[in-house]
Structure formats: C-alpha cells, structure tokens
Amino acid sequence: MTAPACLIDRYAAHLPLTARTPRLTLGEGDTPLVRAPRLEQETGVTEVWLKVEGMNPTGSFKDRGMVVAVAKAMEDGATSVLCASTGNTAASAAAYAARAGLPCAVILPAGHVALGKLAQAIAFGARVVAVRSGFDGALGVARELAESGDGTLVNSVNPHRIEGQKTAAFEICDVLGDAPDALFIPVGNAGNITAYWRGFREAKAAGMADRTPGMFGFQAAGAAPIVHGKAVAAPETVATAIRIGNPASWAGAVEARDASGGAIEAVTDPEILDAYSFLARCEGIFCEPASAAAVAGLRQRAKRGLLRDVRRVVCVLTGSGLKDPDTARTLASSLVEVEATAAAVRGAIRG
C-alpha cells in the first residue's frame, strides 16, 4: 500500500481536523531532502541536507499551512479569504482558494513583490491590491478587514497555518530517522520557525524523533527586528520575501531560539546573494533569495567556527528560484546574441 497522497490525511492525527474538514489537496508536502556535498566540503559539517520546499505546488512552503487554513475555512462556511503578503502567501492563498471555489483578495506592498509571485496571484484569479506601505502596513489592513467581516484571514496569525507548516518537521524526522542537530531557516514574519519548533517537539513526543534540534533563524541585515530586539520601521533587503519589520510570530521565534539553544542572526544582502548563486552553481538547486538566507547563515557560522559540535544540519529552502526572475538576471551581464551558425555560437560559448 502507498502512503496517502494528501498531506492532511498523512498527518491527520497531528492536525486540527474533523470528519467534516474537506480533504483539500494540490499535492503539497513530501518535498525532497537533498544532500549538499559542496556545502559539506566548505563548512566541514559531516551532513548538510536541503529541504527543497520550492517543490510544493505553488513553489513555496506556504502550501503546507494554506491547505489546512483553507480547508478549515471551507469547513467553517467561509465565503472568501484574504491575506497580506510579501508574495508567496498570496500565491498559495490564491491557488487553494481557486481550488476551494472561494474568492480571494491579496494585499501586497506596492513595488516589492517578486514577479513570479505576482503572476501566480493574477493567474489564480485573486483580487490583487497593492498598498503604499511595506508588508507590516499591509498586514494591519488585512487584520482590520478580517475583523470587520470582509473575509477569513489566512496569514500565519491564523493558527491553522502554523499547524500545517509543522508537517515539514515531521517529514525531516521520517526521512532521517531522527531530528538533525540543527535547523537553519530564514525568518520573516516568523511563522515558519514557530511551526518547525512545534513540529519537532511534537515529533519527539510522538516517538518520531529522540531529540529536538537547535533552531537557527536568519533575518536580512536590513530587516532584522528580532536580532536587534526592536521593530524596524523601514525594512530593506534584496530578499523581498523577508522584508518585514515587525513579525507577527515574534514571540514564537524567540521561544524556539531560547528553548532549543539556537540563535537568530543577521546575514547581509551580499551574503544572501552569494549563497543564492553558490546553491545554484555548485549544488544545482535554484531557490529564491530569502531561502538562501538560511545557507548564508550556515556559511557565516562555519567561518566563525561555530559549527564544531554539529554533525547533521538541515537548511530549509523555503521557495523556488523561479519566483524571482529579476534577481536571477542580476547574476549575469547581458545575454549574448549571435548569428545562427556553428562558428558564431562556438565563439560565443568559448567567450
């Protein structure tokens, strides 16, 4: 017999489901856990694994929480869903709402959403509204609209989102046979680090793992409120997914850090872009800039000599590189165009 195809069925015992919860699915979860030999070489860590969450149906980890949030919204008789987003939540909400037959509205920070994410929200038929603010302002508006009955909020302040996202921790324990020594993860609104920590604790309680990992979260240096212990009024980073100045799950991230013996640290935009291109060119894995923040953090801690007592680490690559073609283009100078002859093309290949 094969395992149930549907994420919420597979982990039903650990999720807030009832007999009336629709078994909604787009094939989310069960994403690849891939070894990273070049990173192992560079960092000296025996085992580095990448959890490739860009392989989810809409290309990011958001689908794990969204399938639960939208299924619960359907069960509760919701007539529409809405969210604020730096892009991936919007793409995911729009897809699952389309599947559920619910209208969806997404509120985005004008001018700061990667092109692929915007294309997805539009393609899935969401009402897309750009507001003149960053993500934090957009979330304020979304909360206000939800409170006045304009739709069910599916941001990670919706507890069903965190519940669904914790399934990634279960999968890691299932594949490795235990939790790793350390988890490296980007931090924006801080829902995902909160979810993984809950997942690892529940995995241990349920006998899926013997221990819990150290939780190491990474914010972009220009958007690092948790690192500095203070909200950032005008966050700025190339990693637009984590361009967030006042995370909704701040307390959850601090809890994960402190209870696990981990850390939440900053990585600069150049470190993020360097890790982004390293992953693509040396490991063959194309993630988005925000995801590369986790690997930038791993490399930074290796350089600082802080990885000596870890043997096995997992880095969460939260979203696909295809989300952000504009940043990818900045990695190369202009494309070469030549006549369609072997000689001209050979000359161009040899540079």
Q: Which residues bind ligand AN7 (CB under 6 A)?
A: 60, 62, 85-89, 156, 186-192, 241-242, 288, 290-291, 318-319
C-alpha angle 309/209/312, rounded to 5°? 30
The residue among 136 and 181 lying less far from ligand AN7, judged by its C-beta, is 136
Which one-letter DSSP state was computed for residue 54? G
Report, in Å, the least distance between residue 348 CB and ligand AN7: 34
Task: Report long-range pairs for 256-259 (Cβ below 8 Å, ≥24 apart).
Answer: 256/193, 256/194, 256/196, 256/197, 256/215, 256/217, 257/193, 257/215, 257/217, 259/197
**What contacts 345, CB < 8 A, 6 or more positions away?**
338
Taking the least distance from each CB to ligand AN7, the nearer of 25 and 120 is: 120
Closer CB to ligand AN7, 184 or 278, in the complex = 184
Residue nearer to ligand AN7 on the CB measure, 156 or 212 = 156
Q: Residue 134 CB, nearest distance to ligand AN7 (Å)?
A: 11
> What distance in Å separates the CA atoms of residue 328 and residue 313, rounded to the nearest whole number?
26
Residue with Cβ nearer ligand AN7 (43 or 194): 194
Q: How far is the CB of 1 from ligand AN7 (least distance, A)?
A: 34
User: In whole angstroms, how close is the CB of 211 to ligand AN7 at the nearest point?
Assistant: 23
CB of 191 to ligand AN7, least distance (A): 4
Longest dimension (CA), the chain: 67
Nearest to ligand AN7 of 85, 246 (CB atom) = 85
Nearer to ligand AN7, 46 or 146 (CB): 146
CB 49 within 8 A of CB 313: yes
**Shortest Cβ distance from residue 85 to ligand AN7 (Å)?**
3
**Smallest distance, ligand AN7 to C-beta of residue 192, A:** 3
Long-range CB contacts for residues 299-308, cutoff 8 Å, separation at least 24 = 299/39, 299/42, 299/43, 299/271, 299/274, 299/275, 300/265, 300/267, 300/271, 301/216, 301/265, 302/42, 302/43, 302/44, 302/45, 307/43, 307/44, 307/45
